[in-house]
Amino acid sequence: MNFVRRRRIAIVTPMLPIPHDQTRGRYVHETARSLAKLADVKVFFQQVRYPRLPLVRPRSFIEGAVGPDYRLDGVDVEAFSYPVLPVVSRGLNGYVGSAVLTPRAAAFRPDLVLAFWVYPDGFAALRTARRLGVPCVVGALGSDIHVRSGLNTRMTRHVIQRVDALLTVSEAMRRYAIERFGAPPARVHTIVNGFNTAVFRPLDRAASRRTLGLDGDDEIILYVGRFVEAKGLLELLGAMGRLARQRPRLRLALVGDGVMKDRLPGLLAERGLLDRTLLPGGLPPPEVATWIGACDTLTLPSWSEGYPNVVVEALACGRPVVATDVGGTREIFDERRGRLIPPRDVDALTEALRQTLDQRWDPTAIADGMTRTWDDVAVETMAVCEAVLGGGGRSTGS
């Protein structure tokens, strides 16, 4: 009998669900969990550690590193951190991250290193893989290539041009990686995200509202994601303020967490929306699904996106979506399932939300054809890894 050894894949990422934000990095968690059915997978959860000094804090995410006792359903995970200084250490973070990662990855003895997030984690993964003599595949998720400037741009280009394969979550991102960062076209592969079909499915609105204790007669606009300006939250509050003047039953639900959380009560009060807004926090997938089931429409007015999973999940639940026409969002849906608008346009957002609330939608028609699973994602990801391991498209740069 021939024994075929399972591949050993080390996944490196800074993006996973954490106690104070269950929505963060769910796509990485789901991909890792499904990949673990096909290979021996270990996830190395890299986190940055800021010095305990006043005013020295990250501006784009909530700091809150988990300890070595961190566990994640269905995944063998090792959490650790490395020291950084905002701005000052930006060009060194990938090197420091690799120094901390290498002995941990070496103990696992991987056949391949797979990173999700281009810089600094993809850079660290690439250096570590080269030292271990194994190939490296990096997955770009969205803002890790779209929101780049200065030194970050140069370091991101370094990674993208040297990895053995680059994964993108949309065709729009694939084109951008090639045109903006010089990615070799033959080494760039689009693998769009899936969703948990057992959790995100057409749900009865009345039953979902009873579960959450919500009024059945209210109109509910739902946002799910990080609380940062780049997600279009200020535009959303502006549009909500205008709509609320004509729609007395209108409510806004903001599911998530982020650096704007402490500012939100003041911003809502300025617009007279404090008593119309629900803030349940960052939630696990089953609870997110219940909120989607309870809403009239989900909106995602981001300035940039890769392939926004919450849009997929909302459509799978049979809810129309109002989203900005950025990244791969256009690849997900069209006017039969909602409305696409320009980013940073309060007028367009207001009108699109108004029209969507006024229109009668067929949940079954919206959800029709939404069947792509995380197992599908894992199979396609594994195929790219096998091609690289077989020598196809190997890069020799470090």
For residue 3, what are the CA distances in angstroms to 6, 135?
9, 23
Domain boundary assignment for the chain = 8-194+374-389, 205-367
Higher pLDDT, 258 or 55: 258
CATH fourth-level superfamily of 205-367: Glycogen Phosphorylase B; (3.40.50.2000)
Query: Please, which pLDDT band fits residue 25 given cuts at 50, 70 and 90?
Result: confident
* Cα 228 to Cα 230: distance, rounded to the nearest angstrom: 5
143 near 230, Cβ under 8 Å? yes
**pLDDT > 70 in the chain, percent:** 93
Q: What is the pLDDT of residue 394?
A: 52
* Cα 196 to Cα 256: distance, rounded to the nearest angstrom: 19
* Cα 216 to Cα 64: distance, rounded to the nearest angstrom: 37
Higher pLDDT, 309 or 86: 309
Q: Do domains 8-194+374-389 and 205-367 have the same CATH topology?
A: yes
- What backbone torsions phi and psi does residue 221 show, to the nearest 5 degrees? -100, 130
**Mean pLDDT, residues 364-370 taken together:** 95
Fold of 8-194+374-389: Rossmann fold (3.40.50)
Give start and end residues of each alpha helix (H) in the chain.
26-35, 93-108, 123-132, 143-146, 151-162, 171-181, 205-212, 233-244, 264-270, 285-294, 309-316, 346-358, 363-367, 374-389
**Mean pLDDT, residues 366-375 taken together:** 95
**pLDDT > 90 in the chain, percent:** 77
Q: List pLDDT tens digits, range 92-121.
A: 888 999 999 999 999 999 999 999 999 999
* Cα 208 to Cα 39: distance, rounded to the nearest angstrom: 37
Residue 166 tokens, joined? 């680059």
Our measurement of the distance from residue 84's CA atom to the centroid of its chain's CA atoms, rounded to an integer in Å, reads: 23
Higher pLDDT, 313 or 258: 313
Q: What is the pLDDT of residue 102?
A: 98
pLDDT above 70 for 368: yes
* Cα 314 to Cα 270: distance, rounded to the nearest angstrom: 29
- Indicate the pTM of the whole model: 0.87
Query: Please, which pLDDT band fits residue 1 given cuts at 50, 70 and 90?
Result: very low
Q: List pLDDT tens digits, range 260-272.
A: 999 999 999 999 9
